[in-house]
Structure 1
Amino acid sequence: MTTLFISDLHLSAERPDMTACFLRFMAEDTKNIDALYVLGDLFEMWIGDDEDSPFLQQIKQAFKTLTDSGVPCYFIHGNRDFLIGKRFSQQTGVQLLPEHCIVELYGKPTLILHGDTLCIEDEAYQRYRKKVHNKFIQWLFFRIPLSRRIKIGEKFRSKSSKNNQMKSQSIMDVTQSEVVRLMQAFHVDQMIHGHTHRPDIHSLTVDNKPASRIVLGDWYEHGSILVVTPDGYQLETRNFDTNQQQ
């Protein structure tokens, strides 16, 4: 009995080493598991379900193979791929979840989320997030031709990278009070999220009781996986193929 969690892969055609590691993970690590959860930023950029490059077809097929085998797969949007929609879900069998979701992990209610909503001290990002999650703005964006959307996405990606370089590490990390507030609101003492790229298992106190916050790692230098069983959980890594060209 095993459930796997991943996030912040930031897959792109420009990183074949990362893609190869992910495909190997999907072929080898997901056999006979209870479920796979992807907590956002599966892709470096997603500009609409109508994009269907050979690279994306490869990723979609990996998920389709998994879900066709009977393993349920769930996805929470990240800040890079919040535009993933129903067509992707239909093509892959991946089930889309709300941004905050409670799951039962072998009898343990657990709050799962991408994690960007926890970084409330990054006020500029939160303002940006509110705008791009506006349904009307998204409707207008999807009316733009695909080629133009790709250029817009690349421009925003470059701008985001530059902005993050100017921000302090503390601002881009979670706000502890927001972590506690959410755990209290959802009546849980266990949380799993990604986004910050700082894999760790944190102990904290919520309502005078011990609690845990598990942070998933990114896939920039190696694969990062959270393995959960009825006996507990463990953060693990998967090495890239050193013969794979970057």
Structure 2
Amino acid sequence: MNIPKGKKIYFASDNHLGAPTIEASRPREKKFVAWLDSIKHDAAAIFLVGDLFDFWFEYTTVVPKGFTRTLGKLAEISDSGIPIYFFVGNHDLWMNGYFKEELNIPVFHQPKEFTFNNKTFFIGHGDGLGPGDKGYKRMKKVFTNPVFKWLFKWIHPDIGMRIAQYMSVKNKLISGDDDAKFLGEENEWLVQYSKEKLNQKHYDYFVFGHRHLPLEISLNATSKYINLGDWIQYYTYGVFNGDTFELKEY
């Protein structure tokens, strides 16, 4: 993709809308919608890099209640011709076809490479990548197993949603509450993962969410690791202007 002059690419992650309740997260949702409204005039594309929702599960004919302001704004922006890309996170990994069918927003379940103005990007949520985190990796295999998803689908949505929301907040492997502090480059799994990827191929930017920390770390003279932060404490987002990448606060 070549970015037109005066246009930018925007990145955001980890809104966790619905946590701890839909009502409690509504001020954060309104702030996020205001941000979307503020960037649509110069956005060449928007990347939502996971955990937009604190929990999301698509039944055959049912999706979770709420988030009307966000979904409406995303539909408006998508309908205007601005491409939006969505990467599932560990809290909304049960995305299926709803975003693509209703909002024309493609959904990615794995990290993906992009090239903008000859700059190469490796983009993903970041959960389960790199060394360590073995407990979550085992749990993710269960959650993404087709049999498990099929069984969960048969639980009544009112019950299933309550179970999932409780687990999302209380289970530390899912919530990640214990990890919301910088561990040092040598202990940051996504930094180590990015360095390992650089042994195979050059990327200018690795862009991830998941850690809830706004981070910008040089991996070598030409490559950087970016973590986008969150929309709970930091309200940070990324901007690429066609030449350089910058983290900003809204």
Normalised by the shorter chain, which TM-score bucket?
0.7 to 0.9
Q: Which residue of 1 aligns with 2:4?
A: none
Tell me how far 1:168 sits from its aligned partner: 9.3
Tell me which moved more, 64-73 or 182-191.
182-191
SS at 1:126 equivalent: helix
Q: If the length of structure 1 is used for normalisation, what is the TM-score?
A: 0.86
1:175 & 1:91 partners in 2: Cα distance? Answer: 32
Cα 1:149/1:19, change in 2 over 3 Å: same
1:107 & 1:168 partners in 2: Cα distance? Answer: 33
Tell me how far 1:167 sits from its aligned partner: 6.5
Q: Which residue of 2 aligns with 1:2?
A: 8
Aligned pairs for 1:46-195 (under 5 A) are 46-48=56-58, 50-53=62-65, 55-161=66-172, 164=176, 170=183, 173-185=188-200, 187-195=202-210
Aligned-pair identity in percent equals 24
SS at 1:227 equivalent: strand
2:243 & 2:119 partners in 1: Cα distance? Answer: 11
Q: Which residue of 2 aligns with 1:236?
A: 248
1:20 & 1:221 partners in 2: Cα distance? Answer: 15
Q: Which residue of 2 aligns with 1:25?
A: 35
Cα 1:168/1:11, change in 2 over 3 Å: closer
Cα 1:65/1:232, change in 2 over 3 Å: same
1:176 & 1:223 partners in 2: Cα distance? Answer: 22
Gaps of 5+ in 2: 1-6
Report the number of matched residues: 234
Tell me how far 1:146 sits from its aligned partner: 0.7
Q: Letter of the 1:215 partner, please give it.
A: N
Tell me how far 1:88 sits from its aligned partner: 2.8
Match for residue 224 of structure 1 among 236, 244, 247: 236
Tell me which moved more, 130-139 or 194-203.
130-139
Q: Letter of the 1:204 partner, please give it.
A: L
1:9 & 1:195 partners in 2: Cα distance? Answer: 10
Q: If the length of structure 2 is used for normalisation, what is the TM-score?
A: 0.84
- Structure 1 residues 74-96: Cα deviation after superposition (integer angstroms, max 9, x where no partner): 00100000012202321222111
2:110 & 2:159 partners in 1: Cα distance? Answer: 28
C-alpha RMSD of matched pairs (Å):
2.3
Gaps of 5+ in 1: 239-246
- Structure 1 residues 178-207: Cα deviation after superposition (integer angstroms, max 9, x where no partner): 2222344454242110101121211113xx
Cα 1:174/1:219, change in 2 over 3 Å: same
8 A contact 1:76–1:114 mirrored in 2:
yes
1:11 & 1:165 partners in 2: Cα distance? Answer: 16
Cα 1:11/1:132, change in 2 over 3 Å: same
Q: Which residue of 1 aligns with 2:49?
A: 39
